[in-house]
Structure 1
Amino acid sequence: MPAYLTRALPILSWGRVYDRAAFGNDLVAALIVTIMLIPQSLAYALLAGLPPEAGLYASIAPIILYAIFGTSRALAVGPVAVVSLMTAAALSNIVEQGTMGYGIAALSLAALSGGILLGMGLFRLGFVANFLSHPVIAGFITASGLIIAASQLKHILGINAQGHTLLDIVVSLAGHLGETNPITAVIGILGTAFLFWVRKGLKPLMQRLGAGAGLTGVAVKAGPVAVVVLSTLAVWGLGLADRGVRIVGDVPQSLPPLTIPSFSPTLLGQLLLPAFLISIIGFVESISVAQTLAAKKRQRIDPDQELIGLGAANIGAAFTGGFPVTGGFSRSVVNFDAGAETPAAGAYTAVGLAIAALFLTPLIYFLPKATLAATIIVAVLSLVDFSILKRSWDYSKADFAAVLVTILLTLGLGVEAGVSAGVGLSILLHLYKTSRPHVAEVGQVPGTEHFRNILRHKVKTDPHIVSLRVDESLYFANARFLEEKIHNRVANDPQIRHVILQCSAINEIDLSALESLEMINERLHEMNVRLHLSEVKGPVMDRLKQQHFLTEMTGQVFLSQYEAVTTLKSLPREDQA
């Protein structure tokens, strides 16, 4: 089978060796993940401002499409908290929630996001996600988790509240606090407390009772289902819906419908920036989970093919009544821990959810929205990590500033402003750090051919030779910095006759940097100083040979720093002058 075909359709690779053992493991994993996904999918649809069935629909076709095109064998694709929040934030600024136009806009957002991801995958632009640093992502997710948790308190208390920033939500909650429904509050608080206990206390309890690891794991994962069942029975049996407890109500008993997103230029223009941000955030979250899980089994993830898999999943969501999706952390870990061997586990999960959509939806008519809110709160608070502030402060004040600004802007101005600031700050931090590269003056370690920083090691130097090691690629942002660094070092020392640039850490020299090297060579020549290069990498040398710089350079190119210093020291005194 042609390699390009298995690369484009990874299912052809793992599908050829699929056996009964893998089928059994995938089926067990699918059962556990399906149990977990039913309440999660419903909850994340409500978080996105959509009917609960949209969550089920967004978890069926996208999973199957990812199984065909994706490269991760454990990634579970579907609605996730942060992307659902970003969906609600994007759409509520354009369309009124609860209207038909809102649902169509959600489809269009998924289609646009899918198109962006597909395009990035086809043009192999997976590296774009690298512009979001991990500290900035951690800050954004922490702030988003707080906003999501706060936004669900209205369902816990049974009141009306609005807002897409933490301050707006808190003010709105405070203004309606007097309308709290006591019964709803009891359901919501008890449900939240029980789910926290399931996460922290159920596993030790079952271990003390002698339960096996497999049974314990299933019990912990089925905690949300237990809350759903118990609260639904309570509302139905006690007639609590008539006493103001808000319930899910009618959910269509059907497979995902065929839907058509809007291709209105006006709507797509309004959704373009949110779709791009959702695509980037979703991809970063997905690829980090996929690579972490793949490393545990020494498997390989292709980031560009992952873009195609996620793009196909989002387009599938757009045409089957869903909304933007990505790979979820918690469900993927559950899928992995449950023994999933191949992406077929995801396809079996889709079948399980399809059965739930066909036959189980009447059973959730009396499901209280407070229970779904409790599910969301417990899930997202596990993402909140303020320790990133201390770690970044201790390690890098610049990273700390980026994390803090991302958190504050997300909390104060909303998720779009926060993630936009995160992207911008990540790029600015990169430019700032690389615009002032570490340039070390080096000398020879006695008795060796090695050269080290004169400020850190006892080394030998020559008063007529300055050796500078540039620890960064040279490009437009740092070219002038190197000019000034060399000029300041040479101008005040009339003994210097040679400057050697040790290029062992230089992977690239762009045209702006090349022009700066030409200027450095010219200025040094005016001061009767020669410029030399050492340890130039092959690809960099190939580029330099295409220009006239090497022929005009006053000095030579040496294979090693040791050869450069030894050769220059041995020159006759008149050549040193």
Structure 2
Amino acid sequence: MLKRYFPILEWLPGYDRQTLSSDAIAAVIVTLMVIPQALAYALLAGLPAIVGLYASILPLFAYAVFGTSRTLAIGPMALVSLMTGAALSQIATPGSNAYLEAAITLAFLTGIILTLMGLFRLGFFANFLSHPVVSGLLSASGVLIAASQLAGLAGIDASGFTLVTQLSNLLSHLDGIHWPTLAIGLASVGLLQLFRRARPRLKDWGVRPRHADFLVKLGPLFVVVLMTSICWAAGLPSHGVDVVGDVPGHLPPLGIPSSDPGVWRDLLVPALLIGIVGFIESVALAQMLAARRRQRISPDQELIGLGTSNIASALSSGLPVVGSLSRTVVNFDAGAQTPAAGAFAALGVAFVTLYLTPLIHFLPIATLAAIIIVSALTLIDTRTLRRTWRYSYGDAAAMLATIALTLAQGVEAGIIAGVGLSIGLYLYRTSRPHSALVGRIPGTEHFRNIHRHQVESSERVALLRIDESLYFANARYLEDTVYGLVAEHPEINHVVLICSAVNLIDASALESLEAINLRLKDSQVTLHLAEVKGPVMDRLKHSDFLEHLTGQVFLSTYAAWSELRHGHKPAMATELGETPLDNA
């Protein structure tokens, strides 16, 4: 029982020197990568850069205790930072103490929500975000994140969390472009892109693929060191180039959430959305990497792991955290074997926070903006949109609506619209279930659609296959389908509903079946069922429908076909209570 809630007890007893060596090497690599990203993502959220480092220490220890993934790297992420900034900007002024307090409250509230969802096993709620919606959300967020950093890249004081606001603010401040800052920013973007495209060239030069990937991942750190050195040597701050400035050189202070109930109320929905989006992305990534090593991920326990990590971030004056895609992949490729690699990386970040923060005093804000822009552009996925459009217009419409509303109204509006459209499309599709009249393929016991195959059929027997579970949204549609079938074919004496694809019949659908049975009885037509699954049959036995059914329940469509087309009593029909039907 303890191992269920404390996964650390599964891997810690077998921890050996070789595992320690692998985790330590991975931790060094991730630490070098996390520093520039953490600083940049804190600024993206409108918070001091040091807050990003705070959020990369204690949460990693919490996840090592409660998380089930061996390689997931917890910390700030671009999308969550954007959502954080959008939520906090509605409550307080960026840079104020109230803003930082609201960020702590948001992380704490996100942690509570995720932890409670995990304890009550509510991870399935994340399934309401379909893949097209998530893909559309990430693509639109990539555009928003990149656009939000254009002002910082050019040294302009402009902000906004919708594309229209961002572009209008940027255009209205074009006359204030600071050219030295723009030069630093563009140079940083160019170098980052050069590193990203250097992987094939390094491999051509004989560098091992693993080492080439490692060098490419260190690109942001190299750019940070280079631009910080140039900024310091050239004295650019005296020429108006914005830099990170003085950063406190101490461990994270205790974070205390706001005591104002109004702040908690205003942050409740953003915290829920941040938690769900972060959970979906984190679990999908963790499951993909765990499958490569034949390991197992518990989604409900991951909720607890992410929840406690956010609580830890709040208590250490950090912002909301989730699993980071780029850092997790690096952690995996670097050979991390257990969550202890994350804990070791946290120690590295803590060391940097304590002793090395003076080195980032001259780090240009434009360089951090460049890191965010280059990272955000990787979120834009046009191929998925084209592929979805070719496959399903409905899913593509949900994806486009999510993109449009995210760009126009912000991430929260995009998520809500995407979830609403996904549920709406599902209800629409299942409210009009596919059904088909089937006939027997000659010489076999197989039955297929009469409009797609050459089959044998009988004018007296209608074999109607229902390809969907029956519930309140499609119950009336089923009635209309059956009544229309009988009206179009007055020679029919038997209607067999083939239920091989029916996994559920709810109370509304049961009433419709009872109405169909009575209506067909008045029309001198007998209603039968075939291939009813065991769980569905168990539910039907708790009603009196089977007692009033005018026809029989057949084990197979072939049994119904063999007997009814000749007008004989169905010899293979199963009476109530017989074992074969119970096990169907």
Q: Offset of 1:570 from its aligned partner?
A: 4.1
Q: Offset of 1:367 from its aligned partner?
A: 0.5
Match of 1:137 in 2: 134
Matched letter for residue 193 of structure 1? G
Q: Offset of 1:569 from its aligned partner?
A: 2.8
Aligned pair in 2 of structure 1 residues 341, 447: CA closer, same or farther (>3 Å)? same
Matched residue SS, 1:140: helix
Quick one: distance in 2 between partners of 1:574 and 1:510? 28
1:470-513, CA deviations, whole angstroms, 9 ceiling, x for partnerless residues?
A: 11111111111111111111122111111111111111111111
Quick one: distance in 2 between partners of 1:572 and 1:387? 58
Match of 1:123 in 2: 120
- Greater Cα offset, 20-29 or 129-138: 20-29
Matched residue SS, 1:555: coil
Instruction: Give the alignment's TM-score, normalised by structure 2.
Output: 0.96
User: Are 1:413 and 2:409 matched, yes or no?
Assistant: yes
1:138-193, CA deviations, whole angstroms, 9 ceiling, x for partnerless residues?
A: 11110110010010011110011121111111111111111111111111001011
Quick one: distance in 1 between partners of 2:56 and 2:486? 65
Quick one: distance in 1 between partners of 2:392 and 2:153? 39
Q: Offset of 1:214 from its aligned partner?
A: 3.8
Q: Offset of 1:526 from its aligned partner?
A: 1.3
Matched residue SS, 1:108: helix
The one of 310, 315, 339 equivalent to 2:311 is: 315
Match of 2:298 in 1: 302
Match of 2:66 in 1: 69
Quick one: distance in 2 between partners of 1:65 and 1:287? 17
Quick one: distance in 1 between partners of 2:304 and 2:60? 13
Aligned pair in 2 of structure 1 residues 574, 40: CA closer, same or farther (>3 Å)? closer
Quick one: distance in 2 between partners of 1:391 and 1:282? 25
Match of 1:200 in 2: 197
Quick one: distance in 2 between partners of 1:346 and 1:472? 46
Instruction: Give the alignment's TM-score, normalised by structure 1.
Output: 0.97
The one of 182, 185, 198 equivalent to 1:185 is: 182
Quick one: distance in 1 between partners of 2:8 and 2:569? 70
Matched residue SS, 1:466: strand
Gaps of 5+ in 1: none
Match of 1:429 in 2: 425
Quick one: distance in 1 between partners of 2:208 and 2:381? 31
Quick one: distance in 2 between partners of 1:21 and 1:260? 40
Matched letter for residue 163 of structure 1? G
8 A Cα contact 1:247 1:365, kept in partner: yes
8 A Cα contact 2:40 2:49, kept in partner: yes
Q: Offset of 1:573 from its aligned partner?
A: 9.3
User: Are 1:153 and 2:150 matched, yes or no?
Assistant: yes
Match of 1:451 in 2: 447
Q: 1:414-563 to 2 correspondence within 5 Å?
A: 414-563=410-559
User: Are 1:24 and 2:21 matched, yes or no?
Assistant: yes
Quick one: distance in 1 between partners of 2:258 and 2:525? 67
Quick one: distance in 2 between partners of 1:530 and 1:67? 63
Quick one: distance in 2 between partners of 1:327 and 1:149? 20
The one of 339, 343, 359 equivalent to 1:347 is: 343
8 A Cα contact 2:527 2:551, kept in partner: yes
Q: Offset of 1:543 from its aligned partner?
A: 1.0
Q: 1:247-286 to 2 correspondence within 5 Å?
A: 247-286=243-282
The one of 223, 233, 237 equivalent to 2:233 is: 237
8 A Cα contact 2:564 2:570, kept in partner: no
- Greater Cα offset, 381-390 or 238-247: 381-390
Q: Offset of 1:574 from its aligned partner?
A: 13
Matched residue SS, 2:349: helix
Quick one: distance in 2 between partners of 1:219 and 1:172? 37
Q: Offset of 1:264 from its aligned partner?
A: 2.5
User: Are 1:167 and 2:169 matched, yes or no?
Assistant: no
8 A Cα contact 1:108 1:263, kept in partner: no
Q: Offset of 1:199 from its aligned partner?
A: 0.7
Match of 2:395 in 1: 399
Quick one: distance in 2 between partners of 1:40 and 1:13? 31
8 A Cα contact 1:251 1:365, kept in partner: yes
Matched letter for residue 185 of structure 2? G
The one of 110, 115, 126 equivalent to 1:113 is: 110
1:225-276, CA deviations, whole angstroms, 9 ceiling, x for partnerless residues?
A: 1111111111111110010000001111111221111243211111111111
The one of 359, 380, 387 equivalent to 2:383 is: 387
Matched residue SS, 2:173: helix
Matched residue SS, 2:399: helix
8 A Cα contact 2:247 2:358, kept in partner: yes
1:76-95, CA deviations, whole angstroms, 9 ceiling, x for partnerless residues?
A: 11110101000001110111
Quick one: distance in 2 between partners of 1:338 and 1:65? 22
Match of 1:13 in 2: 10
8 A Cα contact 2:560 2:570, kept in partner: no
Matched residue SS, 1:442: strand
Quick one: distance in 2 between partners of 1:522 and 1:75? 58
Quick one: distance in 1 between partners of 2:260 and 2:504? 44
Matched residue SS, 1:249: coil
1:407-427, CA deviations, whole angstroms, 9 ceiling, x for partnerless residues?
A: 111111111111111111111
User: Are 1:287 and 2:264 matched, yes or no?
Assistant: no
The one of 322, 328, 333 equivalent to 1:326 is: 322
Matched residue SS, 1:441: strand
Matched letter for residue 419 of structure 1? I
Matched letter for residue 86 of structure 1? M
Quick one: distance in 2 between partners of 1:556 and 1:119? 48
Quick one: distance in 2 between partners of 1:130 and 1:37? 30
Quick one: distance in 1 between partners of 2:523 and 2:376? 63
Quick one: distance in 2 between partners of 1:204 and 1:456? 50
Q: Offset of 1:371 from its aligned partner?
A: 0.7
Quick one: distance in 2 between partners of 1:20 and 1:121? 33
Quick one: distance in 2 between partners of 1:359 and 1:392? 50
Matched letter for residue 102 of structure 1? Y
Question: Please, what is the CA RMSD of the aligned residues?
Answer: 1.5
Match of 1:52 in 2: 49
8 A Cα contact 1:122 1:308, kept in partner: yes
Matched residue SS, 1:499: strand
Quick one: distance in 2 between partners of 1:336 and 1:87? 27
Match of 2:80 in 1: 83
8 A Cα contact 2:188 2:367, kept in partner: yes
Match of 2:34 in 1: 37
Match of 2:578 in 1: none
